[in-house]
Structures are given as structure tokens and as C-alpha cells.
């Protein structure tokens, strides 16, 4: 399962941060062997800054699912854990749920608890170099 931004670099897809900037930060789980040119960051992830024109493709992935009967958006996936969020007042009465802002709530949950998962991938259009 995927959610968020991804970039293809040297034939491999990585989760990424700041996909519209001139420098894109690629991320890979820290449990894997170190990818070439990556460094371990303070959060335990392998990261590497690359110029935007070094990536062959950039996409955003929107993933929707159901969790304990609630329609949710998946905002992050790491290994077998997902962060979900949704707008709804009041938030579900569950110890994992945290109210975040303006009626939105968020929760870290096991991927295995998500059902009716649907993902939609959209290519990001090229942006002029800045």
C-alpha cells in the first residue's frame, strides 16, 4: 500500500518529500540495506537529495479505505503501519485517535485493519527549474 509522493530514481521508486522543488528528498525504510548514495537520518530512514531532473517520474498517490466502519484517507504508509485521517465531529472514541484541527482526526493503525482500499496514482506535471 502507498500514499503520498513518490519519485522514480535510477529505475527504482522511492517515497519523496518536496517533489516540486529543484532538490527532491528521496526516502527509503531504514530496515533495508543502504541504497547507494543514501544516508541514515535521525528518524531511521535512508534519505538522499537529488536534483529534480535526475528523477524520471514523480507521482502522487491518494489512498482511501475504511477503518472500523469509518471512511478514511491514508496519508502515510511505513512497513505495516498507516496513518489515517478524516474529517468528522466528534472523532471516533478510540485510544489511537487524535483530534488534529478544525474537526479533523488522525490515527496510526495497522495496515491489516484497513478494508476497501482504493489507490489512485497521478503523474505530477513537470515544473520549470527554480
Question: What does the chain come to in residues?
Answer: 130
Whether 32 has a pLDDT exceeding 90, the answer reads no
Supply the pLDDT for residue 89.
Answer: 66
pLDDT tens-digit profile of 38-57?
Answer: 998 888 889 999 999 999 99
Mean pLDDT of 115-127: 89
Q: For 58-111, how does the pLDDT look when each residue is reduced to its tens digit (9 = 90+)?
A: 999 999 999 998 999 999 998 899 999 998 767 778 888 888 877 889 999 999
Instruction: Please state the φ and ψ torsions of residue 11, each to the nearest 5 degrees.
Output: 80, 5
Cα distance between residue 118 and residue 62, in whole Å: 8
Confidence of residue 16 (pLDDT cuts 50, 70, 90): very high
Nine cell digits for residue 117: 482500499
Amino acid at each position: 500500500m502507498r500514499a503520498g509522493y513518490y519519485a522514480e530514481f535510477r529505475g527504482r521508486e522511492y517515497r519523496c518529500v518536496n517533489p516540486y522543488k529543484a532538490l527532491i528528498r528521496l526516502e527509503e525504510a531504514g530496515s533495508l540495506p543502504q541504497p547507494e548514495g543514501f544516508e541514515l537520518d535521525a528518524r531511521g530512514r535512508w534519505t538522499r537529495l537529488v536534483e529534480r531532473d535526475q528523477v524520471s517520474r514523480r507521482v502522487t498517490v491518494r489512498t482511501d479505505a475504511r477503518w472500523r466502519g469509518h471512511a478514511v484517507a491514508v496519508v502515510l504508509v511505513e512497513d505495516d503501519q498507516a496513518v489515517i485521517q478524516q474529517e468528522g465531529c466528534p472523532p471516533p472514541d478510540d485510544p489511537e485517535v487524535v483530534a488534529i484541527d478544525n474537526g479533523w482526526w488522525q490515527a496510526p493503525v495497522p495496515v491489516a485493519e484497513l478494508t476497501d482500499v482504493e489507490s489512485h496514482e497521478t503523474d505530477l506535471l513537470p515544473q520549470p527549474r527554480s
